[in-house]
Amino acid sequence: MGAYLSVPAWWRNLDGRYRLVVGECQECGGYTFPAEGACVECNAIDALTPTEPEGTGTVVAQTIIESGAPPEFTTLLDAEGAIGVVLVELDEGVRVPGMLTDCDPHDIGRGDRVTAVVRRIYEQEGITRYGTKFRPD
């Protein structure tokens, strides 16, 4: 059926779905998102300690999806007309992808300040999926 986030894969990193969690590297002090695998800064393994960042950051890249979204986003796209998706560089220096919320995505761009909030993403296989979205400050 293609690539989507199955329920077991969803449960595996549930902790990082209901709150924003990044990994702090015990080797180099850098941060990695998500908090698993090798450190993106220094490639150290087994060195990431999960930690909750402030959740504040700056938009470094943006897109507005107007068509071609995968089926799990169809309902949202139909309702909203467009989905703003940003890469945010958190103040800790790590980048996190997320949807924009509580705004018109056309009003947001690179350099704008945002804060992470937990929101409903979509429902699939009978489970409502939650995750981090970003709200303009």
Partner 1 sequence: MQDVYVVGAAQSDFGAFPEESYRSLFATALEHALDSVDGQLDRTDIDEAFLGTLGVGGRQLGLSAPSVTEYAGLDGTSATHIENACAAGGSALRQAVQSIRAGMADVALAGGVEIMTDMSGDRTRYWLGVSGETEWERMAGTTFAGVYAQMADAHMGEYGTTREQLSTVAVKNHRNGAKNPHAHLRFECSLEDAVNGTVVADPLNLYDCCPTSDGAGAAILASREVAKELTDDPVRITGSGHASSRVGLFQRPSLTSIPASQGAAKEAYDDAGISAEDVDFAEVHDCFSIAELLAYEDLGFCAPGEAGTYIESGATEPDGERPVNLSGGLKSKGHPIGATGIGQAVEVFKQLRGEAGDRQADGLERGLTHNVGGSGGAVAVHVYEGGWA
What residue ranges bind partner 1 (CB under 8 A)? Answer: 1-5, 9, 13, 32-34, 40, 60-71, 73, 76, 83, 85-87, 95-99, 109-110, 121, 129, 131
In the complex with Zn ion, the residue whose CB is nearer, 22 or 99, is 22
- Nearer to Zn ion (CB atom), residue 42 or residue 127: 42
36 counts as binding Zn ion under rule CB under 5 A: no
CA distance 134 to 109: 12
> Given candidates 38, 44, 64, 77, which one binds Zn ion under the rule CB under 5 A?
44
CB of 40 or CB of 76, closer to Zn ion: 40
Applying CB under 5 A, among 20, 21, 22, 25 the residue interacting with Zn ion is 25
Judged by CB under 5 A, does residue 39 bind Zn ion?
yes
Q: How would you write the chain as a 3-class SS string?
A: CCCCCCHHHHHHCCHHHHCCCEEEECCCCCEECCCCCCCCCCCCCCCEEEECCCCEEEEEEEEEECCCCCHHHHHHHHHHCCEEEEEEEECCCCEEEEEECCCCHHHCCCCCEEEEEEEEEEEECCEEEEEEEEEEC
Nearest alpha-carbon partner for 35 in 45, 14, 49:
49
- List the x/- string, 93-122, binding to Zn ion by CB under 5 A: ------------------------------
Interface ranges with Zn ion (CB under 5 A): 25, 27-28, 30, 39, 41-42, 44
